[in-house]
Amino acid sequence: MLSIIVAVAENNVIGKDNGLIWKLPRDMKHFKETTTGHYIIMGRKTFESNGRPLPNRTNVIITRDKNYKAEGCVIVHSLEDAIKEAKNDSEAFIIGGGVIYDLSMPLVDRIYLTKIRHTFEGDTLFPELNMDNWNITEKRDFEPDEKNEYPFTILTLDKKK
């Protein structure tokens, strides 16, 4: 199975200046719990914004740079090659950025979508979802608290067959 995991503001913003805009520790915990032990596929800029390979996951980086190296990571030069690398994983995850999400949208079976109930200024957007193509199979709402400044909803969307 190929899945996307993403946090999106109400205006589809997912980032600014190659970084996250918000701090939501509860959503980060969900990301870690969901992706640990799996392949995570990302573009080079997303990897560089993390600053290091994410632990307990196989980090696959897509880059056009044939000489790119990142210790502890698998380097590939296309989304297709990244998917081939992860073929033996029961569920591989696309984790960004915007271009990689856009390219992978027709290929994924599931989306773990955190909808932040707030708008943000940003320069990276998540593609518009046509909800006619997706079933909401899980929904969890979270209100702001001392650690999480914004309300958000975590949805699991499965592609309609």
Task: For 39-93, write each residue's pLDDT tens digit.
Answer: 999 999 999 998 899 999 999 999 999 999 999 999 999 999 999 999 999 999 9
Q: What values do phi and psi take at 86, rounded to 5?
A: -95, 10
How confident is the model over 108-144, as pLDDT tens digits? 999 999 999 999 999 999 999 999 999 999 999 999 9
- Domains of the chain in sequence order: 2-159 (3.40.430.10)
Model pTM score: 0.95
94: helix, strand or coil = strand
**CA pair distance 103, 110, nearest whole angstrom:** 15
